[in-house]
Structure 1
Amino acid sequence: MTGDTVVPGVSPPKTPETPSTPAPAPAAADGLTNTSLEELQTEEQRRVLDTVARVRKCGLEGTVSLPQIVVVGDQSAGKSSVLEAVTGIPLPRSDNLCTRYASEISLRLASTDSITIKVIPGPDRTATEQVDIKAFEESITNFAELPRIMDMAMKVMGIGMEADATTKSEASAKSRAFSRDVLSIEIFGPGRPQLTLVDIPGLIGAETKATTKSDIALVAGITKHYIEQPRTICLAVVSAATDYANQTILERVREVDPEGERTLGVITKPDIPPAGSGLQKSYIELARNEDIFFKLGWHVVKNRKFKERDVSLEERNLLETSFFLTSNWKCLPAETVGIEALRRRLSILLFEHVKKELPKLREELELALIRSRDQLVQLGPSRSTGGDCKAYLTQLSLDYHEICKAAVDGHYEAEYFHTDVDPNFSIDSPSTLRRTRAMVQKLNLDFAKRFEDVGHKYQIVMTDQSAAPAAPARYSGHPEDVPEVLGKPDALKWVRKALVRNRGKELVGNFNPLLIGELFWEQSEKWENLAGAYVDQIAGLCRRFLRNLLEDLCSDDVQRRVWSLKIQDALKLREQAAKKELSLLIEDHRNYPINYNHYYTETISKCRQERQKEALKASITSATSTQTTYPGGNATQYTTKVDVDKAVAHYSENVDPNMDNFSCEEALDCLIAIYKVSQKTFVANVTMQVIERHIVRGLDKIFSPIFVNGLTSEQAEALASEPPASKRKRVYLEDQIRKLEEGQEIFKNVL
């Protein structure tokens, strides 16, 4: 190197460019920088931590929790001094300057020395601010330039901005005391361990003229964000200058790590409490893990005093060693005091922690990759131009057509029909809707049964008893739909009233043929409402099926456009056509019934035969007598005789001389017969001419490749163009998948 270039870790010259910030402390020779840092890792540890470093480099810090060491504590507890001593990196600091932002210091193994400084924008930044902040990146090879670059980074964050008279108000508005942005310092060089350490602002106890309530809350939020991550080792720093009971960091770390499994307590400034004082004794007890217990224990380090600020790190270590050999702190085990021992402890802690977490980390990474891929698939291919949109819609319509046709035809071989299958086949289940043909067949059968159960106004039971029998037990519908039950006497009364109203020139004992029409219309008055409700039900279920299918095949924005601009209107037209067809059936139904089905006459004949059969049985029973004889012994003989003349006479007496009664019975027989025939015909017509023709058949043609082929590029773009939010999400997911795949490949090679 030439000029004033300094290898990181070698004492840099002071520069006049940063008079307000003390120059970094001179580092020791290369032996300190490289040897002391390499103590953090053995060769095995380096390989394990190299895996984490490479995954971190993929940019996955915000996706999965990565192992790291975070130095936390109250304000002015000496965190930055501990970080500087552990890493061997001279950080710019002054006696009255506190940390205003989180600093991630990443040590990277490389063949040449260099330092890269970036600012990672916080979550509270706007999109414009994020772009501006991400644009900041500086690379240097000299630690002497670090104060100047960090000042530049603070200006980018808007921390402590000073303004001249002309721009004071604007700058004041942007100025902030603390920031949620993160200063990233990557230090590359030979012998560097793969290690990331984080220094965050110290917790603030009370408001001052320099800090507000919002600053206190902001710093607390930053601390919480880091320490609650399950793979973070917390270096909880407390200053021996004040009572540790008043230092809030101990409470914070115990909230997120109650067992102390990933917290190492660090006591700084042990030279401040007077020798033999109660404060010193309490801190020595704390260091022995006798008060606040951490499974990882406690450690004590001695900071440089203000007058020692220009002392090199090597000289600092010598002063620290001397202190622990001569002070009351010498009672502590050697492995719990001094920066060299702390490095060795961190070496073991970090390695074991990372080694334990690597399998879980790999699993989390793979799950994140699966989720990201699923989300990208849901977005579909990129749709930037009219051609892209038309190609996308062509494929979408082809998928829609194939699945929809299979659903309507009842071919359920595709995987789409085997997802989350509902064993109860409930119509509220999306899996039931997918099997459209099976659903329609089931509902058609239910509709036919419902029509048979409750389609008629009166449930006529042809018995001679005056009390009306109960409704059929199989009916399970709404109580208001239950037909009114009429026994034979009540049924004949109902028919007689209609007969009287419709009497013409026919002979008494006959009835006007048009009487059957009036009785039929009254008996079937519920048909229109039942059929209309069924058409609405099937139309609604098919509408839900198509909406679910679109949601499963494409993104929300495309689904909404295709639905509103094409499918919704098509379904409305089909539903209107179905209702018009139903209205034609109802109009036919309102005319006098016409029949050419022999089942009509067979039913009438059966009704008459049943009536004659009952009368004949009663006559024979009345003319039957039984005689008992005893021919001898214990035997008994029964002789049954039927008096034929008496039976015929009794049967003749059953002929009702009232001619209206005869007419009513004949009309009732005709009504029952024509109703049975017409009901079956009407149900068949509704299911075939209305439901099948207008609602179900042709669903697959609503949004087909033929339709898409007829679209112009502009129309295709209007239907399928990708909104800005989706484009941003696509870019994010593609970048995330690239990072995750890179991380996955790293694990494959290492594990």
Structure 2
Amino acid sequence: MAPYAASFTPNGDQQRVKAILDFIDEVRDSKLARDIELPEVVVCGDQSAGKSSFLHSLTGIEFPVSDDVCTRFATVLHLRDTPTAQFRAFLRPAPGTQAQEVERLAKFTPVVSGKEEIKGVIDAAREHLEVTQSGFSDHVLHLEASSPGNMNFTLMDLPGVFNSSSDKQSESDKYRVRKMVLGHIARPRSIIVYVRACHLSQAQQNLGDEIARVDPLGTRTFCVLTKPDKLNPEEEPTITAGWIDLLQRQQPCPYHVVKNRAFTQLRSTASEHARAEETFLNTGEWGKVSTKHKGIPECQRRLEVINAQNHNAVLPDVRDDLCQSLEGLRLQVSRMPTPPPINIREVLHDATKSFQDIVDASLRGLYDGDFFESLPDPRTDVSQLHQYVEARIVTLEEFVATSGRSRQTTQAVGEAAAKQLGGPGLFWAEQSLLQELTGKLKKAGSASRFNPTLAQNLFYDLVDKWGDHIDAFVEDVAGQAKEFVKVALAYVVKPQSLPRAGEFLAQRVQKDVSGRLRDLFAQLRQDHSTRKPINFRNVNSFSTRAQQFEAVRMSSQRAPGQRSGISRQHASALDAKVLVQVLGDEEYLYRSAAAATIIGAEEHYKSEVEKLARIANFGTVTSILVEQLSSLLRYQSIERLSPDQVASISEDQTPSPSPERLELESKIKTAQGLIAEADKLRPNLGQRLPKRIHAYEIEDDQLKSRKRTRIAALQPRFEEDQSSAQRPDVIPDSYEDEPLEFLEDSEMVEVD
């Protein structure tokens, strides 16, 4: 027995079994599947042989059951043992399906949360495929059911074969189903699970002879006998004895008998059905059959072993096929003509209108075109220039208005003082700054009502950080324009790929936009840097407000404890007395002048914020972007590209590959990844020759002799079956009770 099969015990290594099954599923899902012969377990039988009921018992998943046709398309069931339950269902189009139909099938996305819902999914798929009452579909329903304690198993349920037509199954349907079934059972790497009703005669069975023809040595067939309860051993002793003999000898193929649920027992639980089945199969003539060859639990075990060993055994051949497919793909790529060199100017000219349309839409805030829908996140995408510029201008204005001062100039007026001054929401000079300016005025011996020199110096100190804020705004907007150009240009030059052109033009836009925005703020920044003299207006207003505020503040700070415990009339009289004292205080004159200076600087700061807002308004900034972006791909701009610039853009730029080449390269990458995965599953696979094949593919004289001997041994039984309808048909197979029989290494041949 081959070492790959004999040493493999799936019950002892379920994780490896799962990994191999998942790998085969991955190959089946890839674009290489049509070129690779993949192993599969095909459950087939004649119509109404009890196949759906058998699958219900085997998998725990309820399949539609009826006396009429109930399976109208192939269903692939993927069972996996996983820590958490996960379910998925989808339809896979048949080869050659038109794009419109593929799109329609992709809309079948039912939500499945448990095994009990899968029967409803099968019914829904029947409606989606429009085969509820008649007809058959070549599309395949895939059901993935993963849950703790599940079998690690993948099987395909095929429609039952039938001979007679009716209003629900036409003559063309008969040949269509037969072709579908034969196409799967003829594959040399598939395991055939033939579901055969015990009580039906050979004349009523259609598939047995076809299986014997495609698998004459029986190395791939496993026969499941169903409905033994419909066979009366007393009335049909010969048929019963024939089946029991085959079940006992397990020759020429492995047989297994199970009892199907009756229609009245379809809702019975698995344990209830198991007890009923065990009771029936352990009584009467069926009690003579070994427990290893009857009942659902043992059938599950045998099929799981057979499936795992078959997948494990053919894994080297699947890898060999992948290697051959990879070589073929590389050869196709090598024979493809080299694409012509890219004409950079021509590509950019062709993209001009599309690029201009995207620029206009982005700056107008119209984000519903194909370009915008092709990008990942519309909320934060670099393509939305209108939204970004608007938000960035607001951020700049709010920042300079609230946090842009280099130091704090005012503080809120207290509640009591605010009432005296006329209401809440008022501010007076910040205490530490007030004291600082008061000290300067005392030192200079100046107690004028307002000091314009100090106010001017204070203002320019306050706007000291504006240059950094403006620079950040300019770089942000220019950087956004750069990223926009890269994304938009990459979109409009499809299918050409011009990353160097995108980078070159994007950098040029960034430089030009940055220069224009700096020019916008140039005069304002020059005034600040040169400390241009300021003509303060409304000086008297500054002084009046400052004197009023400082008088109230100083009086409220004098003897505040004297007010406690006295009437409001006495408190008012006290405030008036203190206020008179304050007004005659020399400190009040300096503090009032300092406060007026702060108010003047603050008022001019506010007017400068308004001036900044007028400079950096949305219309002005977007007009700069429109001008710079629109001129980027104008005819004159493209033609003005120097030869050195064109050469720089074209450097290392390979022509864009054709869709056919891209498809081949994608398949090559997939094949390389799958081969690497196969090597991880079986590290020694890489030592096999790519063209090594099984001996049965090239029959030498010795193998032919063995084959003739096996067929001759089975032939009498075949002839006897044909002559008597009372004798059950024989499905040739070489399975023993346990593992499959695989060829030894000595039976492998090398071919050049």
TM-score range relative to shorter protein = 0.3 to 0.5
Higher relative contact order (CA 8 A, sep 6+): 2
TM-score (norm 2): 0.45
